[in-house]
Amino acid sequence: MSEKIIVIGESRDNVLRNVTFEAIAAAKKVNGDAEVVGVLCGADDLGTQAQEMIYYGADRVVTVKNEKLATYTSDGYGQAVLSVIEDENPDGIIMGHTAIGKDLTPKIASKLEAGLISDAVDIEVDGDEVVFTRPIYSGKAFEKKVISEGLVFATVRPNNIAALDRDESRTGDVQDKTVEISDLRTVIKEVLRKATDGVDLSEAKVVVAGGRGVKSADGFKPLYELAEVLGGAVGASRGACDADYCDYSLQIGQTGKVVTPDLYIAVGISGAIQHLAGMSNSKVIVAINKDPEANIFNVADYGIVGDLFEIVPLLTEEIKAL
Ligand code: FAD
């Protein structure tokens, strides 16, 4: 990856997700001198988002507007992005390791017979080599991958590579590209959304996660209060989801979401290996558990042994009083 790197932007409700800006920073880490070309797809006007990508470091942005791109499908976005790649002939392509990134990049990479380094948490340059670090064995170890030759796709895990500061003095061209999208094999008839509390769990800087120790759906209320005062999101163990205390969309772990917040507060969670796979790379981990032998304390930076129903409301009050 060197001279030209494409960064595929991802948005929700026409607002770019932070991981797009982190992917731009990742491209700059690969090669600070490379031309970084943003790519945006959608059915609405993409000008504002394109401008944001430039403020965060993209040199130029190509937008593909088409009514068939109103909702993500790997088919539609695949055709659009492939067409831009054919025009641009980049040395590398980077996007977020999100549900869309995990779906789209292998599809296009396989079509182009290109390599793919997924879920990178760090990128370093060592002499002539670009070294990507990625977790393996459910986060128990890390491997380092080096690109030997050819076109390479990479996805970056949200919240690991810091975005550049937003700078409105940065300028760059926005080019609208017309792509004929053939009839989609997948037709999205309706998108049903769950009501959320505003903060996206995958990108939250603070996560308060509850486990089976929370004991009921009502037991999650103090966790929501703590998350609110910290400006964070609520997550859960599979134990809590299986027990119907909360929705599976909150599940963190090997078969749930992978999060890397600045602060992860595990409340009434034992710390099973499958749960750790989704949160052990959090920057600071606080565990609240009444069992001093609970495995979660082995990965925690700070541990509080005690009853969560006493500790969580106290924490909320103390933080409110700050
Ligand atoms: P428990 O293990 O029951 O722990 C509850 C904890 O709460 C205990 O440590 C207890 O001491 C504490 N507690 C109880 N009462 C209180 C109190 N009043 N105050 C303080 N502490 C209290 N799990 C995941 O989380 N995510 C996954 O993605 C996932 N994927 C899986 C995939 C596979 C293939 C398999 C086999 C399992 C998977 N699991 C996953 C399940 C995992 O193995 C555990 O069963 C699950 O994480 C346990 O959830 P828990 O910690 O909430 O419950």
pLDDT tens digits for range 220-241: 999 999 999 999 999 999 999 9
289 is in an annotated binding site: yes
- Two tokens, residue 288: 């609240």
Burial class (CB within 10 angstroms; exposed 0-12, middle 13-18, buried 19+) of 98: buried
Residue ranges around ligand 1 (CB below 6 Å): 211-213, 237-240, 251, 253-256, 268-270, 272, 274-275, 278, 288-291, 294, 307-309
Predicted TM-score of the model (pTM):
0.82
Ligand 1 center from residue 237 Cα (angstroms): 6
Q: Where are the beta strands (DSSP E) in the chain?
A: 4-8, 11-12, 15-16, 35-42, 60-65, 92-96, 115-120, 122-126, 129-136, 141-146, 152-156, 173-177, 206-210, 233-236, 263-267, 284-289, 302-305
Give per-residue pLDDT as tens, 131-180: 999 998 877 789 999 988 888 999 999 988 999 999 999 999 999 999 99
Residue 158: exposed, middle, or buried by beta-carbon count in 10 A (0-12, 13-18, 19+)?
Answer: buried
Q: Give the mutation target among 244, 285, 288, 290 for probing the ligand 1 site: most ligand atoms within 8 A of CB.
A: 290
If we measure between CA atoms, which residue out of 147, 188, 94, 99 comes closest to residue 81? 94
- Is 272 annotated among the ligand-binding residues? yes
pLDDT at 197: 59
Of all protein residues, the one whose alpha carbon is nearest to atom 17 of ligand 1 is 307
Nearest-Å Rg of the Cα atoms of the chain is: 21
The reply to whether ipTM tops 0.85 is yes
